[in-house]
Amino acid sequence: MDIEQDVKVGTLPKGFEWGAVKAGIKASGKPDLAVAVAPKGATAAAMFTKNLVVAAPVTVGRRHLAATGGRVRAVLVNAGNANCATGQPGIDACVKTCSAAAETFGCIFDEVFPSSTGIIGVPFPGEKVVAAMSALKASLGNTNSHAEQFATAIMTTDTRMKVARAVVDVDGVEVRIWGAAKGAGMIHPQLVAPTGPPHATMLVYLFTDLIAESGQLLGLLERAVERSFNSISVDGDTSTNDTVLLLGSGASGVKLSARTKEPFENALKLVCGSLAHQIVDDGEGVTHVVTLHVTGARTEAEAKQVAKAIAHSPLCKTAWSSADPNWGRVIAAAGYSGVEFDPAAARISIGSVPVFEAGVRAEFDKADAHAVMMQREYTITIDLGAGEAECRFLTCDLTEEYVRINADYST
Amino acid sequence: MDIEQDVKVGTLPKGFEWGAVKAGIKASGKPDLAVAVAPKGATAAAMFTKNLVVAAPVTVGRRHLAATGGRVRAVLVNAGNANCATGQPGIDACVKTCSAAAETFGCIFDEVFPSSTGIIGVPFPGEKVVAAMSALKASLGNTNSHAEQFATAIMTTDTRMKVARAVVDVDGVEVRIWGAAKGAGMIHPQLVAPTGPPHATMLVYLFTDLIAESGQLLGLLERAVERSFNSISVDGDTSTNDTVLLLGSGASGVKLSARTKEPFENALKLVCGSLAHQIVDDGEGVTHVVTLHVTGARTEAEAKQVAKAIAHSPLCKTAWSSADPNWGRVIAAAGYSGVEFDPAAARISIGSVPVFEAGVRAEFDKADAHAVMMQREYTITIDLGAGEAECRFLTCDLTEEYVRINADYST
């Protein structure tokens, strides 16, 4: 098993085709409509945002997965318009694009899975999507170049394509996973299975040629998402459109079994972990990627609660932007997280430099901590001294550039 | 009853003296040690931050109030060092400064109420405070100028003094309230009575010459704080030192009674409201002050939960900085607040301009909404359409200047 962040090697999962075109939705005129097709169909599992306010494609996508019992033939994604807070006209427009896609790609209506990302509250130009349908079909193919076109067209404020792949060898037969993601701002996914209230501006599509049922895929996906996409935050804003979709074409001929489950699950976790890392690394205005390793918690949930308080603290995030080892802001954020612990038993390290212990500043050379923080990426360890549970949470600094990007992203 | 934000008129409450000196704690060399003395003593009530990590003076101040049953003779405040995360040496240093103040101002040790604000985790220079004690005594007086010196010395990143006063007329006798506050960053007070886990970087001192017992003052204070200091946020970071102290000298000769309670409580609320507003208005990097008026909630707590999600959303705050009527970010933040409501029944207005209703963009002229948002101060109303409860929450925009201030505030 190996993991790579490019698609140069010709090992894409079998049973899928990808394509993309310019439909005229992005103001920039760049490719903005992508499709992934499983000509023989695929089993599917999806997780959506917990946000109460959801985009039309999330509503429609959930309905379709429920209607088919988890089968997908075509994934239709546009960037440039979120089709959110667009009311019944937004739902109607989404349905029309699904109908057109079903006709174009030769499947039933419910086998089309729609996604949108972009600005909220602007009427959705469904007619542009419908008009682009035959060009979209003509763009299909199964080469690396086709997959890259898919991964590029779904981008919004992303500065680069985000893809990852893994291969699992089962008695000489390869089972492949390839994933593509987009997302740079409004990143604090809180994904749940479609039973909860749904929603996503982070979009993730995972393709594999494993043979597995929809319910099996969902179990694998939930476990992989919890420690990847559900453990990152750029700005703490949970989007209305976050969606992670896992499709299994079955084209490898290898079944999910007691024997293949563990290596496959590990490979899926690696792909999700890589994509989650790429999202934070390409976060809006990011100059430092920080792993918060919270240890000594009573429960993993409490560890995560502490990590989120720190990850969402503007004071911690601005200190990271200037590589300032201001551990006082970190312990203060942990202190208001709502989790109980004894500050005198807590410890904080920046990289391998202890900065806080026994309730006071540790003996350390500020230059050492500063040197760690000058790196693009490092870890801050917060030991609560209260138990055995831990978590790793990936976040980033807050810079003037983040403010500029989001003050200028005008409606 | 009237309310003013200056102390030019000679109507300070009787029974108090104020003073301040340069003790050498602030790197700038500005006045950094302030004192307020009630020569005949005062009844007292205090509220402290909910943060689990608390500064030494918070620990000592709570202990002193408990020991005296709510009596204070001298309030000793330094700026430039928070005396937080300084361990037992921090407690010891705080105790020494209280001893020196007790000797200097002729009271018992427990009647000294200490406060600190500034950087966290730096050893507290108690000896500088002790050395300044006789100069501090010499600075005392009861004129407007003395009160202003107190209000100025407690400032840190504040750009201006924050004071407010009110006068209640009881049968020709004046009962006066004067308050001073400091705070510009790490502002998201969550104050509780000293029974809960305590802590504060917002410091507020309220002086009145009313006759009232400590327990009566606490009841008045809790109600006034809930809709003022507990309903504001600059950056969502709840400090380790937040403290609000209310002192009653009794020198007016007017008792708190069934007849005087209502006008006095109203006056206290006005003073607290004015100071809370001044804190947000002087928030770090602030260019717009925004009142979030959440209506139609099932409970006031839920209204506040929605307001806080919006107030802490970097995407909402950056949009406000550029006067962009991006209501999509507002409804998205409400959607992830954890409060249940039907987005199709919700409505949002910016000033008097409806921007969202019935689940979609309202018919409005973007220029009208933009014009409202170009003002220094305006209101966004979020009607959840779910009930009758409401709240008003005061917050501000997020600017590049905020990032600069907090990236540069180095340890």
Indicate yes or no: CB of B53 within 8 angstroms of CB of A332: yes
The CATH classification number of A289-408 equals 3.10.20.340
Q: Is A291 exposed, middle or buried (0-12, 13-18, 19+ CB in 10 A)?
A: middle
Q: What is the DSSP string of B124-160?
A: P-HHHHHHTHHHHHHT-B-SHHHHHHHHHHT-SS-SS
Structure tokens at B52: 């689990």
**Chain center to CA of B335:** 29
Partner residue opposite B87 with nearest CB, options A82, A313, A359: A359
Chain B residues lying within 8 Å of A89, measured CB to CB: 360
Inter-chain contact A356–B121, Cβ cutoff 8 Å?
Answer: yes
CA–CA distance, A49 with A201 (Å, rounded to integer): 9
Q: Check CB contact under 8 Å for B53 and A398.
A: no
* Domain residue ranges in chain B: 2-281, 289-408
> Looking at the predicted structure, is the pLDDT value of residue A247 above 90?
yes
Tokens encoding B25: 């704690």
Q: Which residues of A touch B87 (CB under 8 A)?
A: 344, 358-360
- CA dist A162 and A152 (Å) reads 8
Residue B389, token pair as written in the block: 């409860």
Cα–Cα distance measured from residue A87 to residue A121, given in angstroms and rounded to the nearest whole number: 9
Q: Say whether residue A335 is in contact with chain B using an 8 A CB cutoff.
A: yes
For residue A348, is pLDDT > 90?
yes
Q: Within 10 Å of residue A173's Cβ, how many Cβ atoms?
A: 12
* Partner residue facing B240 (CB), from A84, A237, A332: A332
C-alpha–C-alpha distance, residues A299 and B128, integer Å: 44
Partner B contacted by A185 (CB < 8 A): yes
Active site residues of B: 201
Contact across the interface for A318 and B407, Cβ inside 8 Å = yes
Q: Is A92 an interface residue toward B (CB < 8 Å)?
A: no
Q: What is the structure's pLDDT at A201? A: 72
Q: Which of A381, A401, A406 is nearest to A391 (CA)?
A: A381
- Measured CA to CA, the distance from residue A350 to residue A372 in angstroms comes to 7
Contacts of A120 in chain B (CB under 8 A): 326, 328-329, 331-332
Query: Could you give the maximum distance between any two Cα atoms of chain B, in Å?
Result: 69
Closest CB from A318, A332, A366 relative to B51:
A332
Tokens of A344: 């005198």
Q: Which of B50, B5, B370, B45 is nearest to B242 (CA)?
A: B50
pLDDT at B8: 41
SS3 of residue B367 by DSSP: helix
Q: A38: Cβ–Cβ under 8 A, 6 or more apart, which residues? A: A15, A16, A72, A73, A74, A247, A249
Average pLDDT over residues A240-257: 94
What is the pLDDT, as a whole number, of residue B49?
86
DSSP code at position B123: P
Q: Is A84 on the interface with B (CB under 8 A)?
A: yes
What gap in Å lies between CA A365 and CA A155, rounded to an integer? 42
Q: Which of residues 187-206 of A touch B (CB under 8 A)?
A: 190, 199
The pLDDT value given to residue B225: 95
Q: How far is B150 from chain A (nearest CA, A)?
A: 27
Say which CATH architecture domain B2-281 belongs to.
Answer: 4-Layer Sandwich (3.60)
DSSP bridge partners of B81? B117, B119
Whether the CB of B314 is below 8 Å from some CB of chain A: the reply is yes
Which residue has better confidence, A218 or A242? A218
Inter-residue contact B364 to B381 (CB < 8 Å): no
Cα B69 from chain centroid? 24
pLDDT of residue B6: 44
Q: Is B121 within 8 Å of A360 when comparing Cβ atoms? A: yes
B112 CA to centre of own chain: 21
Residue of A nearest to B331 (CA): A53
Q: Active-site positions of A?
A: 201
Asked whether residue A9 carries a pLDDT value surpassing 70, the answer given is no
3-state secondary structure of B189: coil
Helices assigned H by DSSP within A298-392 = 300-311, 314-321, 327-335, 366-373
Backbone φ and ψ for B241, nearest 5 degrees, come out as -125, -5
Task: Show the CA angle centred on residue B226, arms to residues B198 and B386, nearest 5°.
Answer: 125
The yes-or-no answer to whether B2-281 and B289-408 have a common fold is no
Of A119, A360, A398, the CB nearest to B85: A360
Residue A140, φ and ψ in degrees, nearest 5: -65, 145
Interface test with B, best of A406, A408, A409, A410 (most B CBs within 10 A): A406
Neighbour tally for B411: CB within 10 Å: 18
In this prediction, residue B1 carries a pLDDT of 45
- Residue (of B164, B142, B173) closest to B255 by Cα position: B173
How many beta carbons lie within 10 A of that of residue A221, not counting itself? 25
Q: Does A321 touch chain B (CB under 8 A)?
A: yes
DSSP A34-72: EEEEEEEEEEEEEEEE--SS-BHHHHHHHHHHHHHTSEE
Q: Which segments of B18-153 does DSSP mark as H helices, in order?
A: 56-68, 87-105, 126-131, 133-138, 144-153
Which residues of chain A are within 8 Å of residue B348 when distances are taken between CB atoms? Answer: none
State whether B318 and A358 contact (CB < 8 Å).
no
Cβ separation of B332 and A408 shorter than 8 Å?
no
pLDDT digit string (tens) for chain B, length 411 residues = 444 444 444 589 999 999 999 999 998 999 999 999 999 999 999 999 888 888 999 999 999 999 999 999 999 999 999 999 999 999 999 999 999 999 999 999 999 999 999 988 999 999 999 999 999 999 999 999 999 999 999 998 899 999 999 999 988 999 999 999 998 888 888 777 764 332 337 899 999 999 999 999 999 999 999 999 999 999 888 888 889 999 999 999 999 999 999 999 999 999 999 999 999 999 999 999 999 999 999 999 999 999 999 999 999 999 999 999 999 999 999 999 999 999 999 999 999 999 999 999 999 999 999 999 999 999 999 999 999 999 999 999 999 999 998 897 665
pLDDT at A199: 29
* Residues of A (235-274) whose Cβ lies below 8 Å from B: 235-240
> Is there a contact between B284 and B185 (Cβ–Cβ < 8 Å)?
yes
Mean pLDDT for A301-321 is 96
CA of A330 to nearest chain B CA: how many angstroms apart? Answer: 10
CB–CB of A240/B332 below 8 Å? yes
Categorize the per-residue pLDDT at A8 as very low, low, confident or very high, splitting at 50, 70 and 90.
very low
